[in-house]
């Protein structure tokens, strides 16, 4: 199966990124007009931290998840599968890592195709058959090929700064004796709050679109959309059986996982992933297209 672009999906992603870009232009303009430079200093400091996180994202993510990079001697079949799928996707072979966790899941990380890592949990290795595991790994490699980690980091860069301005900006608004400077700081805080809320929603929409794209890309790599669909249903069905302690430990990593941790109605509304049902339906439609071609 050839790697074909889904232009409707690309158009939706393009529109979302344009709206984010326009929002951030307004945000930066507001900071320049309504502040005396103190808020911009805060933004610069946190921006520097975000830049550092971007360059060391592969190591930081694996470390935060308790993932261990494994050798070919430790996991020969896993390495062999990742290597073969990487060749099919025309990608450098990423680092391979494993998390000792009952949560059946997988994620990719890294700022570029050359610095990527693919990680799976022991729960995933025990839950899936060979074809299903290939489908999941191909999905993660599609994220790498689409440079999704870089795209989402860039998209959320100013959103993170806006959040930090909201969180810490009150220190500048409430401190000191310069009454003339305080109102402008509160205007900047209000603008940052609006930017953070709107960008939060847009970034999650972008993330859901890119999950659909990775599903399609993974199916293109293996030529077996049904295998990925089966894996998604298997993983989703086992999530409710995972101990609640594990769910709390993993909750902050939703944007990286192939299936997000469920957290009620609000969690689904602002989820980084589309529903499993919607993803499976698209994969089945793709399977039908392949059979009729």
> For the chain, what are the domain ranges?
7-292
Q: Which of 2-11, 74-83, 137-146 has the lowest mean pLDDT?
A: 2-11
- 134 catalytic residue (yes or no): no
The residue among 237 and 49 whose pLDDT is bigger is 237
Average pLDDT, the chain: 80
DSSP character for 188? H
Segment 232-245 shows an average pLDDT of 70
Confidence of residue 268 (pLDDT cuts 50, 70, 90): low
Q: Compute the average pLDDT of residues 144-164.
A: 82
**HSE toward the beta carbon, residue 265, CA cutoff 13 A:** 0
DSSP-derived secondary structure letter, 175:
S
DSSP string, 211-272: HHHHHHHHHHHHS-HHHHHHHHHHHHHHHTTS-HHHHHHHGGGTTTBSSPPP-HHHHHHT-S
Give the mean pLDDT of 249-277: 63
For a pLDDT cut of 90, what percent of the chain falls above it? Answer: 35
Looking at the chain, the number of H-run helices and the number of E-run strands are 13, 4
Catalytic residue among 134, 140, 211, 250: 140
Does residue 205 register a pLDDT over 90?
A: no
Helix (H, G, I), strand (E, B) or coil at 85: helix
Whether the predicted pLDDT of 50 surpasses 80 = no
């Amino acid at each position: 199966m050839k790697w074909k672009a889904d232009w409707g999906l690309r158009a939706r992603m393009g529109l979302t990124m344009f709206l984010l870009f326009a929002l951030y232009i307004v945000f930066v303009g507001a900071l320049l007009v309504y502040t005396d430079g103190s808020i911009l200093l805060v933004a610069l400091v946190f921006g520097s931290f975000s830049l550092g996180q971007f360059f060391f994202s592969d190591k930081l993510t694996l470390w935060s998840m308790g993932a261990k990079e494994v050798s070919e001697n430790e996991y020969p079949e896993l390495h062999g599968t990742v290597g073969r799928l990487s060749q099919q996707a025309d990608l450098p072979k990423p680092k391979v890592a494993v998390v000792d966790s009952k949560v059946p899941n997988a994620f990719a990380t890294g700022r570029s195709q050359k610095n990527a890592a693919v990680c799976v949990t022991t729960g995933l290795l025990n839950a899936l058959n060979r074809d299903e595991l290939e489908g999941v790994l191909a999905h993660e490699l599609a994220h790498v090929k689409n440079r999704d980690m870089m795209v989402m980091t860039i998209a959320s860069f100013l959103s993170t700064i806006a959040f930090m301005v909201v969180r810490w900006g009150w220190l500048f608004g409430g401190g000191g004796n310069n009454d003339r400077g305080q109102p402008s700081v509160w205007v900047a805080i209000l603008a940052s709050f609006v930017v953070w809320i709107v960008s939060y929603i847009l970034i999650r929409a972008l993330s859901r679109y890119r999950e659909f794209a990775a599903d399609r890309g993974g199916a293109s790599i293996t030529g077996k959309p049904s295998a990925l669909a089966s894996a998604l249903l298997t993983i989703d069905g086992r999530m409710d059986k995972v101990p609640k302690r594990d769910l709390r430990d993993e909750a902050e990593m939703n944007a990286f996982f192939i299936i997000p941790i469920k957290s009620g109605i609000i969690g689904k509304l602002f989820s980084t992933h589309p529903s499993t049902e919607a993803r499976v339906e698209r994969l089945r439609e793709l399977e039908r297209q392949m059979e009729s071609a």
